[in-house]
Every structure is written in structure tokens, then in C-alpha cells.
């Protein structure tokens, strides 16, 4: 092997260094398929910007389905097309259109108990719940099309036959013709109970928990896959105002896995959450073992629902999380054992557990018993509808907190198994009545969760925040770090730069508070009011910025006393008093031939404390399968690229100085020449 190592001249930039972006994220399932992929696969492509989606997809010369609101499209692509998309810097990720499953556990012994609380006359009036499932039978007496089911949509999914942006058929009376799962779920949320109106035990005996709520059916059919669920979320987001959609129920998912914020399903559920929609997900039916929870249910912005029985015990099939894990835990337990609800005609699932009551023989035609977290989740969606009826100003964060804070404890179970306990509908409704809603602030960006899960907290003392004029340190037990900086000098500013899509300014308001004005990239985002009759911590949020750009933020003094306590950043802060110097080097080498064993070649270099970013690409001549990774001083792989594209590109922000290693891995059937180009971006004082 021969290698050449050369250092190129450095140059000074006024902003963060540009250059080739890292390759698009390839989902783990697709990564496994690519090396031996011979036929086309259905995939989901996500772009950084919605405006780029159609121009990106037109280049692949294949039929595609683009979303209306989300920057996503589905297409059936071959290996070469996938590789080309992965090298397009407008593409954020490519994931396999993975088949999913409805979470339904059929019990041999159906209890026949319909678990519905009559709650002080609260019925979900004025609230709309979307059911993203196999479909809804709007011909059922309890779910009449028009008055109950205000829209019923069939989601089409054949990427090989369809193209364009519209693959929804609206106004379909019955979208649940092959499963029955979605109809049962819909009845649990808001079935009217009309088919059991004359029951001697109670009128409308088999009604749902929110019988006067409206429903929107989104029928993905029996063979649900990721693309249909993305389409369902896209429809919900695009039509939320027209149809008044407040909640979306998801009684489906896949086997256990890690929380991946870049997964298209999680990105879609986050967009719905940001728009003020309550998102409920089934935990799954893979219990009683730990680490079995649905990976879409562990996104922190959704309500993760496990199943219990009428005795407020956890049922064996309900999936569990992992003790001590940040994300892998159930949030709440709801009734999910032997639930009686609406039966879709001529479908297989309800026929497995028919309702047989001698006094009411026709119930066999209208109702069925089913068990599972699929049945528990719509119960929680219905409870959310009750809460929004009594307090429409609640945010999705508040709805979840109320349901969890009012729950009954479940002694003998751990948090990762049952979350905060068994839902208590009466207590939840009472707490909602007495909670001041903050939906307006939520919609302005004051969300509990960022797009990556937790916000990155930054104290006012962070060296990346610059202050002009005189700021005084004020000790306070109410502040983020025990103190905050305050000023009353005219012309004072607090300034910082960050890269990301949103941030929240945290400050203390009191009787001495004045006013400030917040600017982002030179544009005013409004007045920040620091006055309050009683001391309180407040936030001022900015959201929906470009996640790929650096944004300059200024808090300017306007009147009286203003302060800065902390920041919450969906991204990272960058020192605004620094310039970026780039240092470049390249390595040339030869690898192969090898037909059986992977070859590895390493190249070490030193990165000092000033290096803010390492960007490197590996390119080669001829046909070869080369992968690329960066190893940190501790021997850990911290960045890698294995897309089958040429070049392979990696990027990394180091958190320590030391010797790093560029590692070339791969097979080469013939002698293959390659070249590594590396740029070190260093922060230096102006």
C-alpha cells in the first residue's frame, strides 16, 4: 500500500465552514438490505426542506407519492436510485417502508365488561379524534357517517401504480372492510351505543368513553406499513383546521427498538404534536418481558399507553420498558382486557370474540370483545377528548400531564412497566377543570419537548453568550442555575448564535420587570414582557427555523429591568465572538484486492481544543464497496458512512482534543486507489 499525506493552506471564514454535508441518514433496516439488494424496495425519503421534495424526487425518474404537509415522499427504488438520493445534500433520510402491525391480543375468555365512566355529563362534545388504523365502518349504527364520522378516508399505498401528491379517497362510508380492528378502536373512543340503546342495564350500554366526540377515519387497510401511517399523519396535519382534529389515535407499531428521532414516524408525530394535536400510541403486546415497548410509543411527545384489567392490574401481554431508561417506559395504563366495542361487518378479528348475550341476541351482529393495548389506547384518546371539552385551552403537554398526574397508583409495579399508574377519569376531568390552559404559548413554541427529545439547556453564564453594557448577577433560588443576569442600561444586549430549528429564552418576571425585544437574524420576533405582579419563570420561544443554518439572536433592552436566566436550544450554541479557520489535508492510498475478508486501513491525525468540526470524505476509482468511519481518542467510533455511495462523507463535532483515526473499511476485488479529503474547522478569536 502507498499513501500520500499533504497539508493544504488554511483560510479564515466569517461563519461556520461550509462544504459537503454528511450523507443522508439511511434507516437501519435499509442499511442491512443494501449490500445484497437486487430488486426495488419501497422507501420513504425525507428532505430538509419541503420545497425541495418534488425537485429531488423528479430526478429519480420513478413514480412517487409526496405528502401534503410533511417533507416526505414514498417511492419504489432500486439500489442505484437509493445511492444517488443518499448523496443529495437536500435529502435528510431514507428509510425502508417497513410493514407494521396492529396491536391486538385476543383472549380465550372475554369478560364482556365495557369499561366506560359516565363523567358528570362530559361526553367529548366539540372534540374530534382521528383514528389512524385499518379503517372505520361508518355504516355501523354506533358510528354513523356524517353525524359521528365526519370524514372517512381510504389511504392508497401502491407506489408502483400511483404517483403525485393525492392518494386519499375521501367520503368512503366503510373503510374497514378487511380487518375490523379500526372500527373496534373507533367505538371505544366515541361509539354512540345506538345499537344497545334499549339495554335494561343502562341506555346505550356499549357506548364509548367520549360518545359525543366526532371521528375522522383514516383507513390504512389490514396490511399497514410505514408509508400509510406517514400519509395518515400528513392528512391529519394538512386538514386539522378544516376538520377540527384535536387528537390522533395510533393502535399500531412494530417490535421493540431504540428511540430514533429521525425515523419518519417519529418526525411525523412530532409535527402533529407541534401543531397542537394530542398523539396517543399503543405500547404493544409483547409483554411480560422488559424492553418490549413499541419504539414509536416511546417518543416523549406522545402518550404511551399500556393495558390493564378492571381490577387495575397490569395484564401480562402489555409491553414493558427498561428500568432507568430515559425514554423506554410506559406513561399510563388503561382498560385493555376484554373490551366490548363496535364490530365491523364481515371482518375477521371481531369474529374471534363475539358477544353472546341471551337477552340481547342481536349484539352478536353489532359488538365484539377484544383485548390489547390497541383497546387501551383509544380509551386514553377518548379521555383526552373529555379533558379538551371541559378545557379547550389545554396544550398536548398539559393533557398528558393531567392524565398522568391524576392516575391511581399501581402498587407492586415499576415505573417502566406502568408509568404513573391506572387512569382515573373522574380525577382527570376535575384536574382539567382547575388547570389554566397554555395552548397559545405551546403553539408559539413553548413545548416540553424538542425535535430530538430533550431540549439542550444552556445557563446564562455560558461563554457562547455575549453581553454589551453592564449586566448584574442576581442570586435566585427560582432561576435555572441559582442566578440570572439583569440590566437596566439603555442599549444593553445579550447576543448568541446557534444552529437549530428552535429555541426558548428563559427569564424571570417580577414587579420590577421592564420590556425587551427579541431579534433573530435581524428580524424582530416581538416584545418580551418582564413584568409580573408575582415572581415567576417565563419563556419566550422561537420555532420553525431552518435546522441547517446558523441563527444570530439578540435580546435588546427597551425599558426598565430585563434579564436572562437560561436558554433551551433545539440544536447547539456557537460562539458569536469567534471566526472559523479551516485546515485541510488529504490522504491517498490503495486497498485490495480482497474477495473474502474486509480490509481496514487507519490514518491518525491530531485535533486540538480549537477544532469545532471534522468533515471528511472518502472517494475511490472503479468498482468497490468501501465504508468510512472516524475513531475518537478513546477508540470509539463516533461517525461513520456506509451508504454504498461514492464518496462516503462523515462529519463530527469533537468534545475533546487528541489523536483521531480515519478508518477505511471494505472489499475491493481489484487494486483500488482512493483519496481522503479532510477539513478541520477551528474556532479562533477575532
Catalytic residue among 157, 251, 353, 374: 374
Contact 369, 338 (CB under 8 A): yes
Contact 545, 477 (CB under 8 A): no
Give the chain's count of helices (H) and strands (E).
Answer: 14, 38
DSSP code, position 277: -
- First-residue to last-residue Cα distance in the chain: 43
Catalytic residue among 23, 133, 142, 497: 133
Burial group, residue 559, by CB count within 10 angstroms (0-12, 13-18, 19+): middle
CA atoms within 13 A on the CB side of 472: 9
Cα 481 to chain centroid distance, Å, stands at 29
Rg (the chain; Cα; Å): 28
Alpha helices (H) along 120-263: 181-190, 226-238, 240-243
Contact 367, 360 (CB under 8 A): no
Beta-carbon contacts of residue 63 (< 8 Å; ≥ 6 apart): 75, 76, 159, 160, 161, 162, 163
Q: From residue 601, how far is each of 6, 7, 273, 662 by CA, in Å?
A: 17, 20, 46, 8
Contact 364, 317 (CB under 8 A): no
Active site residue 416: no
Q: From residue 83, how far is each of 63, 94, 385 by CA, in Å?
A: 17, 10, 45
Cα 420 to chain centroid distance, Å, stands at 22
Which three cell numbers mark 622?
A: 472503479
Q: From residue 560, how far is each of 473, 525, 539 by CA, in Å?
A: 16, 19, 18
In DSSP notation, 247-272 reads EEEE-EE-S-----TTSHHHHHHHHH
Beta-carbon contacts of residue 197 (< 8 Å; ≥ 6 apart): 203, 204
Q: 369 by DSSP, 3-state: which?
A: strand
Active site residue 374: yes
Catalytic residues: 133, 181, 374
Amino acid at each position: 500500500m502507498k499513501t500520500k499525506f499533504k497539508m493544504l493552506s488554511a483560510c479564515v471564514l466569517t461563519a461556520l465552514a461550509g462544504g459537503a454535508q454528511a450523507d443522508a441518514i439511511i434507516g437501519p433496516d435499509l442499511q442491512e438490505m443494501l449490500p445484497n439488494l437486487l430488486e426495488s424496495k419501497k422507501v420513504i425519503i425525507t428532505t430538509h426542506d419541503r420545497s425541495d421534495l418534488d425537485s429531488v424526487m423528479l430526478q429519480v425518474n420513478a413514480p412517487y407519492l409526496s405528502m401534503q404537509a410533511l417533507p416526505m415522499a414514498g417511492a419504489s427504488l432500486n439500489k442505484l436510485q437509493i445511492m444517488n438520493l443518499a448523496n443529495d445534500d437536500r435529502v435528510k433520510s431514507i428509510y425502508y417502508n417497513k410493514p407494521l402491525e396492529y396491536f391486538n391480543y385476543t383472549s380465550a375468555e372475554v369478560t364482556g365488561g365495557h369499561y366506560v365512566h359516565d363523567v358528570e355529563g362530559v361526553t367529548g362534545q366539540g372534540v374530534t379524534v382521528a383514528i389512524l388504523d385499518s379503517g372505520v365502518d361508518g355504516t355501523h349504527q354506533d358510528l354513523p357517517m356524517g353525524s359521528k364520522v365526519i370524514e372517512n378516508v381510504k389511504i392508497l399505498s401502491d407506489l408502483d401504480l400511483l404517483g403525485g401528491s393525492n392518494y386519499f379517497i375521501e367520503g368512503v362510508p366503510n373503510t374497514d372492510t378487511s380487518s375490523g380492528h379500526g372500527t373496534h378502536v373507533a367505538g371505544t373512543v366515541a361509539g354512540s351505543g345506538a345499537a344497545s340503546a334499549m339495554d335494561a342495564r343502562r341506555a346505550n350500554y356499549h357506548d364509548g368513553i367520549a360518545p359525543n366526540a366526532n371521528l375522522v377515519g383514516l383507513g390504512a387497510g389490514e396490511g399497514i406499513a410505514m408509508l400509510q401511517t406517514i400519509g395518515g399523519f400528513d392528512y391529519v396535519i394538512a386538514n386539522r383546521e378544516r376538520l377540527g382534529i384535536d387528537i390522533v389515535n395510533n393502535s399500531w407499531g412494530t417490535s421493540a427498538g431504540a428511540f430514533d428521532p429521525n425515523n419518519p414516524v417519529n418526525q411525523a408525530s412530532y409535527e402533529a404534536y407541534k401543531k397542537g394535536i394530542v398523539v396517543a400510541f399503543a405500547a404493544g403486546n409483547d409483554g411480560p418481558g422488559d424492553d418490549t415497548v413499541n419504539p414509536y410509543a416511546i417518543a416523549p411527545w406522545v402518550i404511551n399507553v399500556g393495558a390493564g384489567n378492571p381490577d387495575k392490574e397490569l395484564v401480562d401481554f402489555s409491553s414493558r420498558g427498561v428500568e432507568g431508561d430515559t425514554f423506554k417506559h410506559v406513561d399510563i395504563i388503561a382498560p385493555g382486557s376484554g373490551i366490548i366495542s363496535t364490530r365491523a361487518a364481515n371482518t375477521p378479528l371481531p369474529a374471534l370474540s363475539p358477544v353472546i348475550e341471551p337477552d340481547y341476541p342481536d349484539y352478536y351482529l353489532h359488538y365484539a370483545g377484544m383485548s390489547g393495548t390497541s383497546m387501551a389506547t383509544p380509551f386514553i384518546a377518548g379521555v383526552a377528548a373529555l379533558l379538551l371539552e371541559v378545557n379547550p385551552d389545554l396544550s398536548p403537554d398539559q393533557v398528558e400531564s393531567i392524565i398522568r398526574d391524576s392516575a391511581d397508583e399501581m402498587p407492586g409495579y415499576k415505573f417502566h412497566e406502568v408509568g404513573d399508574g391506572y387512569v382515573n377519569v373522574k380525577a382527570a376531568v376535575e384536574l382539567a377543570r382547575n388547570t389554566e390552559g397554555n395552548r397559545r404559548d405551546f403553539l408559539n413554541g413553548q413545548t416540553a419537548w424538542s425535535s430530538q427529545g430533550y431540549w439542550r439547556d444552556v445557563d446564562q453564564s455560558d461563554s457562547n453568550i455575549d453581553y454589551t453594557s453592564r449586566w448584574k448577577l442576581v442570586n435566585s433560588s427560582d432561576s435555572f442555575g441559582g442566578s440570572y443576569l439583569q440590566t437596566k442600561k439603555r442599549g444593553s444586549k445579550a447576543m448568541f448564535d446557534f444552529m437549530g430549528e428552535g429555541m426558548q429564552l428563559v427569564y424571570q418576571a417580577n414587579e420590577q420587570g421592564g420590556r425587551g425585544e427579541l431579534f433573530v437574524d435581524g428580524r424582530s420576533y416581538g416584545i418580551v414582557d418582564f413584568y409580573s405582579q408575582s415572581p415567576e419563570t417565563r419563556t419566550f420561544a422561537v420555532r420553525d427555523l431552518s435546522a441547517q443554518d446558523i441563527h444570530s439572536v439578540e435580546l435588546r433592552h427597551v425599558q426598565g429591568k430585563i434579564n436572562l436566566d437560561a436558554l433551551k436550544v433545539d440544536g447547539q450554541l456557537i460562539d458569536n465572538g469567534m471566526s472559523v479557520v479551516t485546515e485541510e489535508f488529504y490522504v491517498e492510498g490503495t486497498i485490495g484486492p480482497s474477495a473474502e475478508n474486509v480490509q481496514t486501513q487507519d490514518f491518525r491525525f491530531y485535533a486540538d481544543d480549537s477544532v469545532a468540526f471534522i468533515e471528511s470524505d472518502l472517494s475511490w476509482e472503479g468498482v468497490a464497496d468501501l465504508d468510512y468511519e472516524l475513531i475518537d481518542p478513546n477508540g470509539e467510533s463516533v461517525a461513520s458512512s456506509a451508504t454504498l455511495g461514492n464518496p462516503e462523507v462523515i462529519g463530527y463535532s469533537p468534545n475533546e482534543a487528541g489523536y483521531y483515526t480515519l478508518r477505511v473499511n471494505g472489499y475491493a476485488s481489484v487494486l483500488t486507489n482512493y483519496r481522503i479529503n479532510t477539513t478541520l474547522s477551528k474556532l479562533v478569536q477575532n
